[in-house]
Amino acid sequence: MSKLIIHIGMPKTGSYSIQETLFSKGQHYSYRYADLGVLNHGGVITSFFSKDPYAWHGHKAVGRNRDQVNAFNEQVRKKLDLIKSSKGDQIISGEDIYQQMDEYSLRGMRDYFSDAFEKVEVIGYVRPPASFMASAFTQLVKNHGQSKLDLEKVWPR
């Protein structure tokens, strides 16, 4: 029975550590970390399955135009097709799946993978709000020089 695990940990829950470990090993027991060419699959998955891939912040950050976004998603489709055609269990992991994908996009992802895997399981990690906010504020102080608590910036979405 082949299985796809989709990990959608919210920020500040150790997702990066999980991704780094799985990416560096490539395989953990019977599970392969899906080869999408990146450590964090969230952006790639979000871009491909989104109703509006052009709005994804990753494309905006590097200034991709519509043709470049379409070419990007075509490359993603080829990689996803390889994952679907490979035998065995796979893991996909990304924060943007949790943060950016709406119900339409999630259904599209489910439908896309349902014919290739006998079971698709979604695992999400959620951190208590107060703990999340404290960690987010610490990161803002440490990495962005934040000196005052701004609840809008640290409130979990």
**pLDDT > 90: percent of the chain:** 47
Question: Can you read off the two tokens belonging to residue 80?
Answer: 């996803």
**Mean pLDDT (whole number) for 79-96:** 91
- 130 residue type, one letter: A
Q: What is the mean pLDDT of the chain?
A: 88
Whether the predicted pLDDT of 146 surpasses 90: no
Please write the tens of the pLDDT for every residue from 27-47: 777 899 999 999 999 999 999
Amino acid 58: pLDDT = 92
Distance between CA atoms of residues 5 and 16, nearest Å: 16
* C-beta separation of 67 from 38 below 8 A: no
pLDDT of residue 1: 65
pLDDT confidence bin for 70, thresholds 50/70/90? very high
Distance, in Å, from the CA atom of 148 to the CA atom of 141, rounded to the nearest integer, reads: 9
**Alpha-carbon gap, residue 151 to 66, rounded angstroms:** 35
Is the per-residue pLDDT at 149 higher than 70? yes
pTM of the model: 0.80
> Quick one: tokens of 117?
């895997």
Residues 62-100 as b/e (b if ≥16 CB within 10 A, e otherwise) read: eebeeeebeebbeebeebbeebeeeeebbbbbbbbbbeb
Check pLDDT > 70 for residue 106. yes
**pLDDT, tens digit, for every residue of 112-139?**
999 999 999 988 888 888 887 888 888 8
| Whether residue 90 has pLDDT greater than 80 | yes
**156 has pLDDT over 80:** no
For residue 78 the two structure tokens come to 């080829």
The whole-angstrom separation of Cα 121 and Cα 3 is 7
